[in-house]
Amino acid sequence: MARFGEGIELLPCRSFQEVFQRVKAGKALFGVVPIENSLAGSVHQVYDLLLAHELFIVGEVEVRISHHLIALPGVKLAGVRQVLSHPQALAQCQGTLARLLPHAEPVPTYDTAGSAKLLAERGTRDAAAIASRRAARIYGLVILREHLEDDPENYTRFLVLSPSPVEPQGAAKTSLVFSMENVPGALHRCLGAFARRGIDLTKIESRPLRGRRWQYAFYVDFLGRSDEPQVREALAELEGQTSFLRVLGSYPPARG
């Protein structure tokens, strides 16, 4: 909300796919999706959706994530047999859960706040949810344990999506995706286009290409704008080495 202002209208979605679809259909001006967590790693489904939908990354935000174990009033920690939450939240808290509730079953749900909602609607008294303080307040739940994340350095990087690209001024980050023939040295040659020009790569991720066994799409983030001379040269060289190349966007990098 800090990025868009207090006057924005929030449009909750039940899945990452729905976020992409609503932005593409013009039902939302922007979409915000998580792409990476400092503890649990990359959100692979979002990478696949970036390839499947022709939307642009126009910004990124890093958010400190703090998870709490919440339950219906009167529920005791010793009585918790199931813990509901989004798979990413469960992964970010798995070490703490193993120590705190070694016999509790983790139950994946579509959302952290959604897990709190399910708990309240069902009135389940042998289960708890991993969610935020706000979710506990909204659904009338109580906090059994605070700060469940395995490490205080728990940050999630979110991407801001739009049907149209932006032209950032000053410092920028660029994201792209490409694929190439699976031959010896192919990836080395592709990444060499950046190394020879001193362009700083900040992230590389590979995802399997559907219908092409053992073939991969490579996602790369680097510092720089796509209209800078050395970046244009690198992209031109990369295009000659790849069978597919798409720039996903140049955008202001996250602050802090």
Domain edges within the chain:
16-62+163-251, 68-153
Same fold, 16-62+163-251 and 68-153: no
43 closest CA partner among 159, 130, 151, 134:
159
H or E segment and range at residue 201: strand 201-208
Which residue type, as a one-letter code, is found at position 27? Answer: K
* CA 51 – CA 45 distance, rounded (Å): 10
Residue 59 pLDDT more than 70?
Answer: yes
Asked if pLDDT for residue 256 goes beyond 70, the answer is no
Q: Are strands 82-85 and 127-131 parallel, antiparallel or unpaired?
A: parallel
The reply to whether 158 belongs to the active site is yes
* 188 membership: H or E segment, kind and range: helix 186-195
Residue 243 — very low, low, confident or very high, per pLDDT cuts 50/70/90?
very high
pLDDT score recorded for residue 64: 93
pLDDT of amino acid 4: 72
Strand order in the sheet with 216-223: 201-208, 216-223, 173-179, 244-251
Kindly report, residue by residue over 115-140, the tens digit of the pLDDT.
Answer: 999 999 999 999 999 999 999 999 99
> Can you give the pLDDT at residue 169?
86
DSSP 154: -
pLDDT at 255 over 90: no
Whether this prediction's pTM lies above 0.85 is answered by yes
Q: Into which CATH architecture does domain 68-153 fall?
A: 3-Layer(aba) Sandwich (3.40)
Average pLDDT of every residue of the chain: 94
Domain 16-62+163-251 is found in CATH 3.30.70.260: yes
- Is the pLDDT assigned to residue 149 strictly greater than 90? yes
Q: Which of 158, 178, 194, 222 does the annotation list as catalytic? A: 158
Question: Which residues, in sequence order, are CB contacts of 74 under 8 Å at separation 6+?
Answer: 125
* pLDDT (tens digit per residue) in 80-116: 999 999 999 999 999 999 999 999 999 999 889 999 9
Decide if pLDDT at 3 tops 70. no
Among residues 112, 156, 174, 242, the one annotated as catalytic is 156
Instruction: Using the predicted structure, report yes or no on whether residue 52 has a pLDDT greater than 80.
Output: yes
- β 105-108/82-85 pair status: parallel
